[in-house]
Structure 1
Amino acid sequence: MAADVPHRTTASQATDRPGDTSPFALGLLLRRAHWRAAAVMGEALRPLGIELRHFAVLIELVNHGPTVQRDLAAATGSDKAGIMRVVDDLERKGLAVRKAVPGDRRVRAVSITPQGLELFDAVHVAAEPLAERLVAELGPGEPEKLKDLLTRFAHPADGEA
């Protein structure tokens, strides 16, 4: 019944293997790179009692100060329920607090606590050797070049998504 099998129109398969010419190859490679980086950075976070999703919120709070949950969700790629769980976790651990926003009783801004700032710094110290291991296969100057390329890719100059 070979006639029932659709005929492929291209020879390329979407993979994340070297040399893949599929239009999906870049996205798949970025996904695999993210998984690898997240796993390695998770090693730094685990002994400190938090996960990458918690640290992403702490990064936003350090960079932007008190932030409403809606904006934290957008900045971290979370949904409303997910960000509420993360902020609940951070509050339970004493790393962040919710405070009322003057003029809007329904909105709460999340702020990092002094304990959250201490943990933020501790994570950076713990992550340093792991970050070096993450780029160990790259040659001299390549980690900086990769970071530059990814920065330009993630933040295009003309604001494209």
Structure 2
Amino acid sequence: MTESPRSAEMDEAETPGRLRGLPSRLLAMTAARADRVVSERLAAEGARKWHYAVLVSLDEHGPASQAGLSRRTGVYRSDLVAVINELEERGHVARTPDPDDRRRNVVSLTPRGREHLERLDRLVADAQNELMDPLSVAERALLVGLLERVLSS
């Protein structure tokens, strides 16, 4: 069953009370909004969320095999190849044979990629601020902690 255009713009005041208070519904709607806001910001720089995830992983953990990047970022290996190809074409990553196993590649962040990541970090931070604007700093920290607890259970 697909959503009608009207349901995507549903007035919360008209939403049945039993639906309005469902944490699962609120999480899903918040996640969809967050994904949209972050994706729009990244697109302004010609990037996608998987580009950002790969660049962040390389920056924080250093060079990695494609399989390692897939595990760290949650990007399927088949999709990751396309992401790495795009990042490599733009000069943001370099792919070189692994000296320990020449059958696989090691992906590393380039200086140009690090500069690009710094721009993306600012955009993602701006998106986070926009999303969390209604909350105080303490409320933001509490929300993050609560979400981490829910995800880890």
* Structure 2 length-normalised TM: 0.78
Larger Rg: 1 or 2?
Answer: 1
Say if 2:139 is the partner of 1:142. Answer: yes
Amino acid of the structure 1 residue aligned with 2:21: G
% identical aligned pairs: 32
From the superposition, tell whether residues 111 and 44 of structure 1 become closer, same or farther in structure 2 (CA, over 3 Å). Answer: same
Q: Choose between structure 1 and 2 for higher RCO, CA contacts under 8 A separated by at least 6 residues.
A: 2
Contact 2:20–2:26 (8 Å) recurs in 1: no
- Normalising to structure 1: TM-score of the pair? 0.74
SS of 1:38's equivalent in the other structure is helix
Q: Secondary structure at the match of 2:108?
A: strand
Aligned residue pairs total: 136
- Return 5+ residue gaps in structure 2 as ranges: 1-17
Query: Residue in 1 aligned with 2:126?
Result: 129
Letter in 1 for 2:79: G
Shift of 1:50: 0.7
Instruction: Describe the SS at the equivalent of 1:94.
Output: coil
User: Of Structure 1 and Structure 2, which has the larger fraction of its residues in helix?
Assistant: 2
Aligned to 1:79: 76
Aligned-partner Cα distance in 1 for 2:64–2:149: 25
Matches of 1:129 and 1:79, distance apart in 2: 28
**Unmatched runs of 5 consecutive residues or more in structure 1:** 1-15
1:105 paired residue among 102, 110, 133: 102
Query: Tell me, what secondary structure is at the counterpart of 1:109?
Result: strand
- The 3-state SS of whatever aligns with 1:48 is coil
Q: Which amino acid aligns with 1:57?
A: V
